[in-house]
Copies of this chain bind each other. A is one copy, B any other.
């Protein structure tokens, strides 16, 4: 059947360098534990698996590794659209500035209504959703859940909602 995965946070802190450099010939010199699969490395692995598109709807985005994954996909030619909450693009540590400067298309949901989503659709067929904001606190300190699935009945409504919100926030 279609992929269905759930993982929970907080997760152990471990090196995630292998997700970004799977073919590296050199052992990573950082002081974190290596060879440990964590909820976070699994999340990063799913994001890095995108080959054609990534639609991301996140209310806060301050996590550096998640930003690194998005920038790596962009460099690889993956079409990226990010919808975020205006109130949070200016907070300390927000990665949205760096992402914009790289040429990635970001739209702010500037309505009075708070954008509380945290989901991503990869290649129009894989959904990542849950309680987890794309922040450092969420990943290292909160009890959170993430659900990943290719189940079309679950992915389809999120694709439609993303498009609806994207069109509604066209700056032109």
Interface residues of A (CB under 8 A from B): 1, 4, 6-8, 10, 109, 112-119, 129-132, 137-138, 141-145, 147, 149, 151, 153-154, 157-158, 161, 165
Of B6, B10, B117, B131, the residue contacting A118 (CB under 8 A) is B131
Q: A145 to B129, Cβ gap below 8 A?
A: yes
Dominant secondary structure at the A interface: mixed
Residue of B nearest to A165 (CB): B143
Q: A116 to B129, Cβ gap below 8 A?
A: no
This protein's copies in its complex: 2
Q: A154 to B6, Cβ gap below 8 A?
A: yes
With A118-B131, A129-B147, A149-B154 given, is the CB distance from A113 to B161 under 8 Å?
no
Q: B113 to A142, Cβ gap below 8 A?
A: yes
Nearest chain B CB to A52 CB, angstrom units:
23
